Chain A
């Protein structure tokens, strides 16, 4: 089913699988350190979904490409950014004025091809609207439905419907600038620009993982929980490896299950207590549709080494991960592991919506009305950016947004379902409160901002986000603060950051296409 192809890494040839995520291919070949940080630390992939930029490399001559978003193909040339060589600059094609970007005119532009975006795109296209869907990843489906070969059962219907309804897919493109009626996008692999003009928009950008700094969190081999899921789906083979899945929330269970089914020896550690999670009993009882999946999940996790009220206090190794210290109610346990997947829940990805001018609540969610309409007329938002509530909620909100975007009124029963999902999402969050100790794991010389190597100690005496950014350069690297802003230290600072284009760092304009394929 998979075809073996040859790629080169720093001039050395190695085998990989066609269509595999480039990050996964590199890790499989033992290349877990992909770049060097400003102070010379080796770094590897963290989020594996395009947020953290830790996996960036020069790919086919293009600087700063996120390898987690690149599908492997024959002859791909990768240069790790270990020494930051000078770019041999050649004039950009098109001379001083540059090439004009390709322009696509459409009715509805949907940002994100996860469950919410696909549902919105399908329903709007079926109602007669011309629809373009833009997505950064290697394939459609978002995190939950990402796949290399056959899409999961739940996704098939939507992918089929999107095809039949003639939804135009811009897969592997990042939206980096825009306003109501217009979006600027760039291809992930080479920076090729496209401008989309549209009547309305649905922002369905999903969520990203919450990372909390702890000693050793920058070691290559420490990845996000959702990142491990993406990497396995992207072709990372972990058969026979010993992996600790730690952190909090329902995503951990799904990741642990996938890792186990992929042949890994999995240890699962959840930081919340059984008492906290027991609060889910009543919402679960009231939601019969969730009984069967919950039973299946618990069955799949049977026999796994599991810890509750336990969290990782330190990862050790160098340059790669060797062992992890897990704090359990019975004391600290030092575990030798091949990998650590750690995630402290999900954060609504609201930056795109904020960049478009949509109001974001102090709780960190995009403000929408019952029709998923944001504060900007013509811009709708659906799924996790409006509050973490899972896949079913995302689909239903996407349907509402898609229907509303073509000027129709959704059925009352659909709107009622959306309200119920929100209740469930809140119950899940309440059942996994983050313990205070997690905010105090990193001290002094531990890294806070991975892009700029700012330490916790560097920012111990300031009070505002502006000082953190301007004087100490926290969040001034390519992730733009997506990773470090969730740290307790950053959360305690006053003020907020302004979102300006480029909303996502993309390769420069007008790459020389002769060097790319």
Chain B
């Protein structure tokens, strides 16, 4: 019982990645999950599963790159649903201005050592004949890929030793180094990791002053997705419109952007939308806008039979960066959340960073940009509901 003991709240892809990393460092894990199993709740269950490097911010790019690298080591490539499927990403420009913008992205990626190249219209259509012929060009990032997150999460957990799982169990209070379960059970540990997505900061047992709550918070951002029937996988790359950064990750209150992801099952996953709030019922109006936007980039997708549609919520933060580090002012309770749309990509890197900090090792990446304490010194402004 003297083993280093960590309680992890949340068995999504982030929580399970943390369990995996911590157990490799000798920790004994108790993994608590409100849902019935690993990887079947929240953004892990709802997300597209796109592994993508995002050049919008140099620090975020580093986290994405490390995440992508780790996924490719963790999972065999090109083995369909069982692993990492190397589709590559194609960012699509509607006009010369967007293509110029993608050129800038390529330069930033090159200086970070990331393989990528811009494509003129003709090269784009050679790669993906299904694309709309009026597009100006694109940016190809060949080593991006796709994972099927629920399965990958379940598999990662099955490969993690020294972990006790408690499914269908809710946490009602989190203190510094301890939790209370809904049945009143109190548990203590050397460390507590909260990885509960949009619920990240709920149940924290502390008296906060007003400014604390204003600055450190999770902003849920609902998205709609749909998937086509099998036999309709007419794309090889994940195709995303260049405006996606603005549309789905930025500060706009409500946005629709084309993001189409081929699945190893020969289906297409169609997205995306973004609006404030938690995941609610499927809104047929929003779904129609999403599919219409996809039609603009891949003419004919609207004619494909849709099998299912669903919603999910991304957990955004006020400054658009994840929270990876201790709860401000505490020593034994840690946060891993606020990844917005990049949680699946960044999960292994975030878990590695957190495990390194908990075990006081030298960190592979700079921990500073992600430390939740940064939020308390933020100047007024930033994003809000």
From B288, which residue of chain A is reached at the shortest CB distance? A98
Q: Is A505 an interface residue (CB 8 A)?
A: yes
Q: Is A271 an interface residue (CB 8 A)?
A: no
Which residues of chain A are within 8 angstroms of B331 by Cβ–Cβ distance?
A: none
Given that A464-B37, A505-B307 are known contacts, is A38 also in contact with B300, CB under 8 Å in the complex? no
Which residues of chain A are within 8 angstroms of B377 by Cβ–Cβ distance?
A: none
Which residues of chain B are within 8 angstroms of A507 by Cβ–Cβ distance?
A: 303, 305
Are the CB atoms of B284 and A477 closer together than 8 Å? no
The answer for the CA separation of A87 and B305 in the assembled complex, in Å, is 12
B265: which of A38, A81, A91, A511 is its contact (CB, 8 Å)? A38
Question: Quick one: which of B274-322 are within 8 Å of A by CB?
Answer: 281-282, 284, 287-288, 291-293, 295-296, 298-310
A89: which of B37, B292, B301, B309 is its contact (CB, 8 Å)? B301
Are the CB atoms of B40 and A38 closer together than 8 Å? no
Instruction: Tell me the minimal C-beta distance from A268 to chain B in angstroms.
Output: 37
Q: Is B39 an interface residue (CB 8 A)?
A: yes
Are the CB atoms of B309 and A508 closer together than 8 Å? no
Question: Quick one: which of A483-517 are within 8 Å of B by CB?
Answer: 494-495, 500-502, 505-512
Which residues of chain A are within 8 angstroms of B301 by Cβ–Cβ distance?
A: 89, 508
The A contact surface, by secondary structure, is loop
Q: Is A339 an interface residue (CB 8 A)?
A: no
Pick from A81, A86, A469, A494 the residue with the most CB of B within 10 Å.
A86
Q: Is A64 an interface residue (CB 8 A)?
A: yes
Q: Is B62 an interface residue (CB 8 A)?
A: no
Interface-located stretch among B228-236, B246-254, B334-342: B228-236
B234: which of A89, A467, A495 is its contact (CB, 8 Å)? A89
Which residues of chain A are within 8 angstroms of B287 by Cβ–Cβ distance?
A: 501
Are the CB atoms of A92 and B302 closer together than 8 Å? yes
Given that A471-B151, A476-B308, A508-B305 are known contacts, is A90 also in contact with B284, CB under 8 Å in the complex? no
Are the CB atoms of B310 and A510 closer together than 8 Å? no
B: number of interface residues (CB 8 Å): 41
Q: Is A470 an interface residue (CB 8 A)?
A: yes
Instruction: Tell me the minimal C-beta distance from A432 to chain B in angstroms.
Output: 33
A: number of interface residues (CB 8 Å): 43
Which residues of chain A are within 8 angstroms of B154 by Cβ–Cβ distance?
A: 467, 471
Given that A466-B35, A471-B150, A501-B282 are known contacts, is A87 also in contact with B292, CB under 8 Å in the complex? no
The answer for the CA separation of A477 and B230 in the assembled complex, in Å, is 8
Are the CB atoms of A477 and B307 closer together than 8 Å? yes
The answer for the CA separation of A184 and B306 in the assembled complex, in Å, is 14
The answer for the CA separation of A92 and B266 in the assembled complex, in Å, is 21
Q: Is B36 an interface residue (CB 8 A)?
A: yes
Instruction: Tell me the minimal C-beta distance from A458 to chain B in angstroms.
Output: 11
Question: Quick one: which of B199-235 are within 8 Å of A by CB?
Answer: 229-232, 234
A-B contacts, CB under 8 A, total? 126
Instruction: Tell me the minimal C-beta distance from A80 to chain B in angstroms.
Output: 12
Are the CB atoms of B302 and A509 closer together than 8 Å? yes
Given that A464-B40, A471-B40 are known contacts, is A501 also in contact with B284, CB under 8 Å in the complex? yes
Q: Is A410 an interface residue (CB 8 A)?
A: no
Pick from A64, A92, A471, A506 the residue with the most CB of B within 10 Å.
A471
Which residues of chain B are within 8 angstroms of A477 by Cβ–Cβ distance?
A: 229-230, 307
A90: which of B39, B232, B299 is its contact (CB, 8 Å)? B299
Are the CB atoms of A500 and B300 closer together than 8 Å? no
Instruction: Tell me the minimal C-beta distance from A97 to chain B in angstroms.
Output: 6
Instruction: Tell me the minimal C-beta distance from B31 to chain A in angstroms.
Output: 15
Q: Is B70 an interface residue (CB 8 A)?
A: no
The answer for the CA separation of A84 and B302 in the assembled complex, in Å, is 18
Which residues of chain A are within 8 angstroms of B367 by Cβ–Cβ distance?
A: none
Which residues of chain A are within 8 angstroms of B305 by Cβ–Cβ distance?
A: 63-64, 191, 478, 505-508
Which residues of chain B are within 8 angstroms of A160 by Cβ–Cβ distance?
A: none
Are the CB atoms of A84 and B300 closer together than 8 Å? no
Q: Is A462 an interface residue (CB 8 A)?
A: yes
Which residues of chain A are within 8 angstroms of B281 by Cβ–Cβ distance?
A: 500
The answer for the CA separation of A163 and B60 in the assembled complex, in Å, is 66
Are the CB atoms of B307 and A476 closer together than 8 Å? yes
Which residues of chain A are within 8 angstroms of B234 by Cβ–Cβ distance?
A: 86-87, 89
Given that A63-B231, A84-B231, A89-B234 are known contacts, is A502 also in contact with B266, CB under 8 Å in the complex? no
Q: Is A426 an interface residue (CB 8 A)?
A: no
A87: which of B284, B304, B310 is its contact (CB, 8 Å)? B304
Are the CB atoms of A464 and B150 closer together than 8 Å? no
Are the CB atoms of B295 and A92 closer together than 8 Å? yes
Question: Quick one: which of A375-401 are within 8 Å of B by CB?
Answer: none
Which residues of chain B are within 8 angstroms of A476 by Cβ–Cβ distance?
A: 307-308
Instruction: Tell me the minimal C-beta distance from A473 to chain B in angstroms.
Output: 8
Are the CB atoms of A63 and B299 closer together than 8 Å? no
Which residues of chain B are within 8 angstroms of A184 by Cβ–Cβ distance?
A: 284
Which residues of chain B are within 8 angstroms of A86 by Cβ–Cβ distance?
A: 231, 234
The answer for the CA separation of A177 and B231 in the assembled complex, in Å, is 24
Are the CB atoms of B303 and A84 closer together than 8 Å? no
Q: Is A409 an interface residue (CB 8 A)?
A: no
Q: Is B114 an interface residue (CB 8 A)?
A: no
Q: Is B156 an interface residue (CB 8 A)?
A: no
The answer for the CA separation of A191 and B284 in the assembled complex, in Å, is 16
Instruction: Tell me the minimal C-beta distance from B296 to chain A in angstroms.
Output: 5
Instruction: Tell me the minimal C-beta distance from A181 to chain B in angstroms.
Output: 13
The answer for the CA separation of A64 and B287 in the assembled complex, in Å, is 20
From A465, which residue of chain B is reached at the shortest CB distance? B36
Are the CB atoms of A63 and B307 closer together than 8 Å? no
Q: Is B130 an interface residue (CB 8 A)?
A: yes
B230: which of A38, A98, A462, A508 is its contact (CB, 8 Å)? A38
Q: Is A480 an interface residue (CB 8 A)?
A: yes
Which residues of chain A are within 8 angstroms of B299 by Cβ–Cβ distance?
A: 89-92
Are the CB atoms of B284 and A63 closer together than 8 Å? no
The answer for the CA separation of A85 and B298 in the assembled complex, in Å, is 18
Q: Is A460 an interface residue (CB 8 A)?
A: no
Are the CB atoms of A63 and B232 closer together than 8 Å? yes
Are the CB atoms of A502 and B309 closer together than 8 Å? yes
Q: Is B365 an interface residue (CB 8 A)?
A: no
Instruction: Tell me the minimal C-beta distance from A31 to chain B in angstroms.
Output: 19
Which residues of chain B are within 8 angstroms of A505 by Cβ–Cβ distance?
A: 229, 305-307
The answer for the CA separation of A440 and B355 in the assembled complex, in Å, is 45
B295: which of A98, A470, A494 is its contact (CB, 8 Å)? A98
From B265, which residue of chain A is reached at the shortest CB distance? A38
Q: Is B45 an interface residue (CB 8 A)?
A: yes
The answer for the CA separation of A502 and B234 in the assembled complex, in Å, is 22
B308: which of A98, A500, A511 is its contact (CB, 8 Å)? A500
Which residues of chain B are within 8 angstroms of A361 by Cβ–Cβ distance?
A: none
Q: Is A150 an interface residue (CB 8 A)?
A: no
Pick from B36, B130, B299, B303 the residue with the most CB of A within 10 Å.
B303
From B284, which residue of chain A is reached at the shortest CB distance? A177
Which residues of chain A are within 8 angstroms of B302 by Cβ–Cβ distance?
A: 92, 98, 508-510
Instruction: Tell me the minimal C-beta distance from A447 to chain B in angstroms.
Output: 16
Which residues of chain A are within 8 angstroms of B36 by Cβ–Cβ distance?
A: 463-464, 466-467, 494-495
Q: Is A436 an interface residue (CB 8 A)?
A: no
The answer for the CA separation of A98 and B303 in the assembled complex, in Å, is 11
Pick from A63, A500, A508 the residue with the most CB of B within 10 Å.
A508
Q: Is A96 an interface residue (CB 8 A)?
A: yes
Are the CB atoms of B37 and A63 closer together than 8 Å? no
The answer for the CA separation of A463 and B306 in the assembled complex, in Å, is 28
Which residues of chain B are within 8 angstroms of A464 by Cβ–Cβ distance?
A: 35-37, 40
Question: Quick one: which of A357-386 are within 8 Å of B by CB?
Answer: none
Which residues of chain A are within 8 angstroms of B310 by Cβ–Cβ distance?
A: 500
Interface string of A63-97 (1 = CB under 8 A from B): 11000000000000000010011110111100011
From B132, which residue of chain A is reached at the shortest CB distance? A91
Which residues of chain A are within 8 angstroms of B229 by Cβ–Cβ distance?
A: 63-64, 477-478, 505
A89-B234, A478-B229, A505-B306 given; 9 more Cβ-contact pairs under 8 Å: A87-B231, A184-B284, A476-B308, A480-B308, A500-B310, A502-B308, A505-B305, A509-B303, A512-B303
12 inter-chain pairs at a CB distance below 8 angstroms, sorted by A residue, are A86-B231, A89-B300, A89-B303, A90-B300, A91-B300, A98-B288, A470-B45, A471-B150, A480-B308, A501-B282, A507-B305, A508-B305
A-B pairs, top 4 by smallest CB distance, nearest first, are: A89-B300, A84-B231, A464-B36, A91-B299
